[in-house]
């Protein structure tokens, strides 16, 4: 495995499977009453969040703590970044503190890549602009595997604001590596120009794709990144690309519904669908902790996972 996890493309099939298998093992351990493992004792993980986050930040913090690492949480608000300190100077400060891993979320695509050139520890991309979010793709793959078994030949449909979604790009790359067949469904205005070179199919007709899908992954409409009108009205968007009860009825019995969160309930997904038995949305959050534990454990080369009583 490479030293950093910046793109889902950094992962070979063997790397990805190793992370998922390790996460399975860690999930078994997490079922025990004492969740904490001594594996990363004495190691320091810095969470460097320049963009808002609930799930991802808490999830990385919980993952590092369960492995007994020392965790430093840094958010741009209230730090010297608001005084204009550059990413490079922030990185040098972290370096001086001896961070073994830096988990970074940043509004600029490519920021984790630059950071990797300035620090000695491992860099984990927790979302950079509209570029990538590899641990989200890993936790999604982990969730799919738990519900559906092997991903080989599985059909995954990713629907919505692909243009602004780092989750979509990382998922397409990782799922292709794992042998799944991905179809993106979005209005043409919400697809990146480069999508032709992605390892997936594209469709504009959600109703036609649903009956063949094993997984439907809904994406949030990212209004904060929209500087123009990408669709006529919210109602129109919902009508054509939203997942409501009638659309869910087109899925086969085992098919699952996913969303990385945060959701716009009533927009890309109806509340009753989000809360239904097919929905894995809450599981995704729980699986995020074990998957990130696996990533930190493997990147930092932690000691034995320990305990025969798995
Ligand atoms: C996603 C993100 O931040 O890229 N959320 C997440 O990490 N759970 C998706 C989004 O913001 O819509």
| 83 assigned to active site | yes
Of ligand 1's listed atoms, the one at least distance from the Cα of 126 is 7
Q: Is 220 near ligand 1, meaning CB less than 6 Å away? A: yes
Model pLDDT for residues 87-113, shown as the tens digit of each residue: 888 888 888 889 999 999 999 999 999
Of ligand 1's listed atoms, the one at least distance from the Cα of 133 is 4
Convert the chain into a string of H (helix), E (strand) and C (coil).
CCCCECCHHHCCHHHHHHHHHHHHHHHHHHCCCCCCCCCCCCCEEEEEECCCCCHHHHHHHHHHHHCCCEEEEEECCCCHHHHCCCHHHHHHHHHHHCCCEEEEEECCCCHHHHHHCCCCCEEEEEEECCCECHHHHHHHHHHHHHHHCCCCCCEEEEECCCCCCHHHHHHHHHHHHCCCEEEEECCHHHCCHHHHHCCCEEECCHHHHHHHCCEEEECCCCHHHCCCCCCCCHHHHHHHHCECHHHHCCCCCCCEEECCCCCCECCCECHHHHCCCCECHHHHHHHHHHHHHHHHHHHCCCCCCCCCCC
Q: Is 107 near ligand 1, meaning CB less than 6 Å away? A: no
pLDDT tens-place values along the chain, 310 residues long: 899 999 999 999 999 999 999 999 999 987 787 788 999 999 999 999 999 888 999 999 999 999 999 999 987 776 676 666 788 888 888 888 899 999 999 999 999 999 999 999 999 999 999 999 999 999 999 999 999 999 999 999 999 999 999 999 999 999 999 999 999 999 999 999 999 999 999 999 999 999 999 999 999 999 888 887 899 899 999 999 999 999 999 999 999 999 999 999 999 999 999 999 999 999 999 999 999 999 999 999 865 665 444 3
Q: Is 55 near ligand 1, meaning CB less than 6 Å away? A: yes
The alpha carbon of 310 and the centre of ligand 1 are apart by a number of angstroms equal to: 32
Half-sphere exposure of 167 (CA within 13 A, CB side): 20
Q: How far apart are CA 277 and CA 285, in angstroms?
A: 16
Ligand 1 mutation target, pool 164, 220, 281, 282, most atoms within 8 A of CB? 220
| 36 assigned to active site | no
Tokens of 92: 């040098």
Q: Is 57 near ligand 1, meaning CB less than 6 Å away? A: no
Its CATH class, for the domain covering 134-281, is: alpha beta
Q: Which of 56, 143, 157, 291 is the catalytic position?
A: 56
Q: Which of 4, 66, 105, 292 is the catalytic position?
A: 105
**Domain ranges in the chain with CATH number 3.40.50.1370:** 8-133+285-300, 134-281
Of ligand 1's listed atoms, the one at least distance from the Cα of 55 is 8
The closest of 136, 111, 121, 120 to 50, measured between CA atoms, is 111
**pLDDT on residue 82:** 63
Does the pTM surpass 0.75? The reply is: yes
| 133 assigned to active site | yes
Q: How far apart are CA 70 and CA 291, in angstroms?
A: 19
| 155 assigned to active site | no
Please answer whether residues 38 and 66 qualify as being in contact, where contact means their C-beta atoms are separated by less than 8 angstroms. Answer: no
**Site of tokens 């590899």:** 134
Q: Which fold has domain 8-133+285-300?
A: Rossmann fold (3.40.50)
Q: Is 136 near ligand 1, meaning CB less than 6 Å away? A: yes
């Amino acid at each position: 495995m490479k030293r950093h996890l910046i793109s889902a493309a950094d992962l070979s099939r063997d790397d990805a499977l190793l992370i998922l298998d390790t996460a399975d093992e860690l999930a078994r351990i997490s079922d025990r009453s004492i969740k904490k493992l001594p594996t990363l004792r004495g190691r320091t993980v810095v969470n460097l969040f320049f963009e808002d986050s609930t799930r991802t930040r808490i999830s990385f913090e919980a993952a590092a703590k369960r492995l007994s690492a020392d965790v430093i949480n840094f958010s741009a608000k209230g730090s010297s970044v608001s005084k204009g300190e550059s990413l490079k100077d922030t990185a040098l400060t972290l370096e001086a503190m001896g961070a073994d891993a830096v988990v970074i979320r940043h509004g600029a695509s490519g920021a984790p890549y630059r950071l990797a050139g300035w620090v000695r520890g491992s860099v984990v991309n927790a979302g950079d602009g509209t570029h990538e979010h590899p641990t989200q793709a890993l936790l999604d793959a982990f969730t799919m595997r738990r519900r559906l078994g092997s991903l080989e030949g599985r059909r995954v449909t990713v629907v919505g604001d692909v243009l602004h979604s780092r989750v979509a790009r990382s998922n397409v790359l990782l799922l292709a590596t794992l042998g799944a067949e991905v179809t993106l469904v979005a209005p043409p205005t919400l697809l990146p120009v480069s999508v032709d070179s992605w390892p997936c199919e594209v469709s504009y007709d959600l109703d036609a794709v649903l009956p063949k899908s094993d997984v439907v992954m809904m994406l949030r409409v990212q209004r904060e990144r929209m500087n123009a009108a990408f669709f006529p009205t919210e109602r129109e968007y919902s009508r054509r690309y939203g997942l409501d009860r009638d659309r869910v009825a087109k899925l086969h019995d085992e098919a699952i519904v996913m969303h990385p969160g945060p959701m716009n309930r009533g927009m890309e997904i109806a509340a009753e669908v989000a809360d239904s038995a097919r929905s894995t949305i809450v599981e995704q959050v729980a699986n995020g902790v074990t998957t990130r534990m696996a990533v930190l454990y493997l990147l930092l080369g932690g000691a034995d996972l320990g305990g025969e009583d798995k």
